A and B are shown apart, each in its own frame.
Chain A
Amino acid sequence: MDWSAIWLSVRLAAATTLVLLATGIPLAYWIVYSPRRWKFLVEAVVALPLVLPPTVLGFYVLIAIGPLSPVGRAYARVAGHGLPFTFEGLLIASVLYSMPFAVQPFTAEFASVDRRLLEASWSLGVSRLATFRRVVIPLSVRGLVTGIVLSFAHTLGEFGVVLMVGGNLPGVTRTVSISIYDSVQSLDYAAASRTSLLLLIVSFVILASTYSLQRSVWLKPRH
């Protein structure tokens, strides 16, 4: 089995999930509570990866971080190498690609918190940010867990975007799905089957444990 590919996929999925947790929560907060009329545009952009072919997304990311764009040139000047075909470039693409899988559950859960709880908190002198931390986050544990798990599982299995942005460099950008593709290309069906089965089992276990957790009462006490 291609353990370096598995390890790379796990690292990429973990890093992507962390970045999405850090960026997705403020973004979802903004989508739920902002009075801006044009926020539907932001929601549409966040949801794009759900319908766009991964190759299209990957193509644009490749252009955006490559030497043709100011961003890519600036990064290359600072880091000494370009972003395409590196782990960092892969991470940027993964974050964008998995964005809706984190932001949408976050948004749905934040929006479901009774607004009067927030008003009660504000009237007790607690700031909007502290209210979000003390009331909204604890009542949104299900949505946060769902978003985290879906981001992780989704990144673990991504293929098209990786191929476009990362290529196929062993230990750097060759993830599990690329490795399976390679095995099949070289007619090594046994290796492909082992890795595929592993990915299938891991994905199933993650999702099954998430759904079972969501059923339990302690996550969100209901009246």
Chain B
Amino acid sequence: MAEAASLKAGPDGCALHLAVTQRFAAGFAIDASFDIDLRPGSILVFFGPSGAGKTTILRLVAGLERPDAGTIQFGDEVWCDTTRGLWQPPQSRHIGLVFQDPTLFPHLTVRRNITYGIGVRPRSDPAPSERVRPRSDPVLSVAEIERMLGIGDLGNRYPRALSGGEAQRVALARALAPDPRLLLLDEPFAALDAPARVRLRRDVRTLLQTTGTPAILVTHDRTEALAMGDTMAVVIGGRVRQVGAVDAVFGRPADAGIAAALGIDAVLPARVVASSGGVIEISVNDVRLHVAEREPVSPGDLVHACIRAEDVTIETRASGQASTRNHLDARIVSIASEGPIDRVTLDCGFAIDALITRRSREELQLAPGARVTAAIKATSVHLVPRL
């Protein structure tokens, strides 16, 4: 049985199986199913446009929504099975949950917010949960979590005296303090300003890797998905349309609808080779590209290089002097007509699309198999450092 096979997680990982349907009064419906292995400290991104149902699926995983029909299984624990009438409430799932807004308990101090869930064992706590991960010996103490999140000094304050970034850090500490087996993050960075967002993303990544807690992150932000995700599930119209490693999904969208949701850029996994004088040199499949430096990276860093198809130009012979930094030998793989525009798929050591007018294509006499030069300006390559 293929389903059973995919549930077999590695010795450390935990498989999440979900196959549910849920109808809502307004006509919206969730019909989602996927199996994925959540490795310790890894992040699964639910990615998709607003209103696609990402948050609802997360709430189904949390046990805050009950599906009309279906099963949810985490490791060897059945959280929901409507045919057998099995249901675990959120209390016995041992998850951590962080919303878009901090939603701290306003009548409790920061310290009492963070320790709120510690030492709480539901009376009907099922024994099987112990098999998945021993909870008696958390990796990090509360003090260590506070220190790593930089909120060690806030203990006696009340939530109303915190900035948005501080409050969200406290909410994270509160979710992680009872040592959950799975952390659920519902756009937790969306309400923060850009610098706070970037810092918190980095800290969350570090924390998860330290504790080994797997996480599910809901986001509609490509940059966030690329920076934080290890695996991703693309959610469109209440359905999970594609599941896989982030590189694999961005590199090979299963169909045009998914490609549209992911955006039109080529997303190429790359490594920083050198950086000097405002120009970064990266390696994509051993092909070197020059990139204008927008944010600091160091040699050895792993990045995603994003290139829009309209920023790729095609030359039939190497031009002499031009400001364009990247000239790559390429072979035309295919040409697809999109009205007056043609989409030319090139292989230049990695796959990339170029959008050109039909007239250009005719003047340059481009055809599949032809050898050309792909030109990409250094300023047209956007790097997303991987956290």
Chain A interface (Cβ < 8 Å from any Cβ of B): 114, 116-117, 119-127, 130, 134-135, 138-139, 220-223
Contacts and interface: CB of A to CB of B under 8 A. Distances in A.
B106 A124 contact: no
Contacts, number: 77
B176 to A, nearest CB: 11
Measured as residues with beta carbon below 8 angstroms from the partner, the interface class of chain B is: 20 to 34
26 contacts: A116-B101, A117-B103, A119-B64, A119-B90, A120-B97, A120-B171, A121-B117, A122-B63, A122-B89, A122-B91, A123-B63, A123-B93, A123-B96, A123-B175, A123-B184, A124-B96, A124-B174, A125-B92, A125-B178, A126-B116, A135-B105, A139-B107, A220-B107, A221-B159, A221-B160, A222-B160
A125 B122 contact: yes
B158 interface: yes
B272 to A, nearest CB: 39
A75 to B, nearest CB: 37
A125 B64 contact: no
A202 B188 CA distance: 52
B317 interface: no
A221 B121 contact: no
Q: Main SS of the interface on chain A?
A: helix
Nearest to A222: B160
B154 to A, nearest CB: 15
B178 A122 contact: no
Interface in B96-151: 96-97, 99, 101, 103, 105-107, 116-117, 120-123
A123 B98 CA distance: 10
Given A122-B91, A123-B96, A221 B174 contact: no
Q: Main SS of the interface on chain B?
A: loop
A197 B92 CA distance: 59
A139 B106 contact: yes
B106 A223 contact: yes
B62 interface: yes
Interface string B158-201: 11100000000001001100100000100000000000000000
A127 B120 CA distance: 9
Contacts of B160: 221-223
Contacts of B95: 123
B107 A122 contact: no
Contact of A122 (B90, B158, B171): B90
Contacts of A116: 99, 101, 103
